[in-house]
Structure 1
Amino acid sequence: MLSLLAATAATSEPIQWAELGLRPYLFEIGSFQLRYYSLAYLFGILFAYWHLSKMIKSPGAPMAQRHADDLFFYCTLGVIIGGRLGYAVFYRPDLLTSVELFKLWGGGMSFHGGVIGVLLAITWVAWRGGLNWLRICDYIAVNVPLAYMLGRIANFINGELYGRPVEGDLPWAMVFPGGGDIARHPSQLYQAGLEGLLLGILLIALFWKTRARYRAGLLVGLFTVGMGVGRFVNEFFREPDAHLANRVVETGLSQGQWLSIPMIAVGVIVLVYSLLRQPVGGAKSEPKPQTT
């Protein structure tokens, strides 16, 4: 694949996705396929659990390991159920009255719906344990971007959710099987890099290298703004869903961009709230881990 990319970059011809040797599954046994999209969810959730367990061992943690275990279970449900219901509500309302809603293997998950599902899961765990809801959101938010990155990479491997047609020459423009004989932006990789890798590195660095975790709401506020802005920008390169193409024509913005605007606004409000409040435990002392 690398040799094909290098050879194509040296010419003016777009990269043919079909010639990269990609397939949507790791292996298959009979009719069963272990698909990369499923693995992306699995490894993303496992990474989040592992890193969260490591984070709460540092000073000032707002929860104990038992709370992290509960969050692992309920947030997983929130991602799956919220992601699927969000896709139906925001993008495919017809699914709400169809059995197709339950066919998760057919694709169709909403990031914004997944966020709502996770927030409900955090609310439940925080209420049951008497925990600080906003600080738990901080700890969860740090782990989301890298898991999100895996999902977008899986989208690229599947050859789905590709970008808009390229204007002019672009060395990494690609022709996707479902997009006709047109060179397009590999927008899945843009999202994986900007909303996933870059934002994830920033949040992890702020958590471990600064005292950001002591300001309730700072990390989740940055995550919300960063994800919203990243999604808004990348939507200019992503091909809108066919059944929502008129939304772009009528309003100039895609459905994903309209959903990102309130997300950015909420993130800014949370950031301002965080910066106006005193850090947890004071500016000089190290807070003790919360165990109840």
Structure 2
Amino acid sequence: MRALLPFPDISPEIFSISIFGFELALRWYALAYIVGILIGWRLVVRAVRTQRLWQDNSPVMTTQQIEDLLTWVIIGVILGGRLGYVAFYQPAYYLQHPAEILAVWQGGMAFHGGLLGVILAGLIYTWRHSIPRLSAADIMALGVPPGLLLGRIANFINAELWGRPTDLPWGVAFPTEAAQYCPDVVGICARHPSQLYEAALEGLLLGAVLIWLVWRSGALKTPGLVAGVFFAGYGMARFAVEFVRQPDAQFITDGNPLGLAWHIGGWGLTMGQILSLPMILLGIWLVSRARRMS
């Protein structure tokens, strides 16, 4: 009998209450967003208040500006994440159902879209307040990994975004009907817990590297370095995990069982890998530029 791990019995809802006939629930996914943003915000505020981390001991932003920027970031995450999901993953469906585009409560968010939303929000805010953009990008990048870590753990609790079938001993038997649909597997289907792989790589490991760069290596004194490491680090982590992550159902066909968004002769890339390549290239360019300028 194949070894596998049973899915933990954790409800996606932390608690729910009924008020005047309406059911209100706090879900782990929503809590992950909230706590992740708060932890990231506190990291950034601490960095801004630690003058020795900055060139000439002069932070490029004040704590009040960080708090103002946080509002812009939250809007960018929500709108960008939703519009990115619509544009990258299900454009045909939403062209036919435009009224559902902003129905975020139905689910469907894309990290790459949320990132683009945050970048746009940051560009607008820094332009309006004459803040050096690369330095602002550095401290914004510092605050992202906690949200990634908690968000991916919440994906695991929700039994969503699971990986491809596996016979490895840490494969997880996710309970949903879709996760158990494995035509080539007899009996219970175990899958890669790809959400936890991403939590470890994009959240824990990348977050630790950025914290070390900021507090031990003085990276904030070299504008663009922290942001470059973040872009390249996230892009490479996501690119690697995509090899074991189950692609979205709309990309899977009889002639394309791996769900590749682009392929020739059975070889190609998933949508996640395609969207990660520009991040890797941008990150490498930013790191190279920062090293030349230092």
TM-score normalized by the length of structure 2: 0.86
How many equivalent pairs are there? 264
Residues 165 and 128 (structure 1), Cα distance of their counterparts in 2 relative to 1, 3 Å cut? same
3-state DSSP of counterpart to 1:159 = coil
> Cα RMSD between the aligned structures?
1.4
- Kindly report which structure 2 residues correspond to 1:99-178, keeping only aligned pairs within 5 A, or say none: 99-166=99-166, 168=167, 170-178=168-176
* 1:1-292 superposed matches below 5 A: 12-17=2-7, 20-30=8-18, 31-59=23-51, 60=54, 61-93=59-91, 94-96=93-95, 97-166=97-166, 168=167, 170-178=168-176, 179-180=179-180, 181-245=188-252, 246=256, 247-248=259-260, 251=263, 252-278=268-294
Q: Is the 8 A contact 1:156 1:189 kept in 2?
A: yes
Instruction: Output the amino acid matched with 2:24.
Output: F
Name the CA shift for 1:265/1:14 in 2 (closer, same or farther; >3 Å): same
Q: Secondary structure at the match of 1:131?
A: coil
How far 1:143 moved relative to its partner? 1.3
> For residues 88 and 228 of structure 2, what CA distance do their matches in structure 1 show?
23
Matched-pair contact (CA < 8 Å) for 1:224–1:264 = yes
Unpaired segments ≥5 residues, structure 1: 1-10, 279-292
Instruction: Look up the equivalent residue of 2:5 and give its one-letter code.
Output: I
> Amino acid of the residue matched to residue 189 of structure 2?
I
CA distance, structure 2, for counterparts of residue 171 and residue 202 of structure 1: 29
SS of equivalent to 2:26: strand
1:191·1:234 contact (CA, 8 Å) conserved in 2? yes
In terms of fraction of residues, the more helix-rich structure is 1
Query: Share of identical aligned residues, percent?
Result: 43
Indicate the SS of the match to 1:177: coil
Given the two structures, how large is their TM-score scaled by the length of structure 1? 0.87
Of 224-233 and 57-66, deviating more is 57-66
8 A Cα contact 2:262 2:270, kept in partner: no
Deviates more, 1:214-223 or 1:141-150: 141-150
| Structure 1 residue 175 displacement after superposition | 1.2
1:67–1:125 contact (8 Å) kept in structure 2: no
Conserved? CA contact 1:216–1:274, under 8 Å: yes
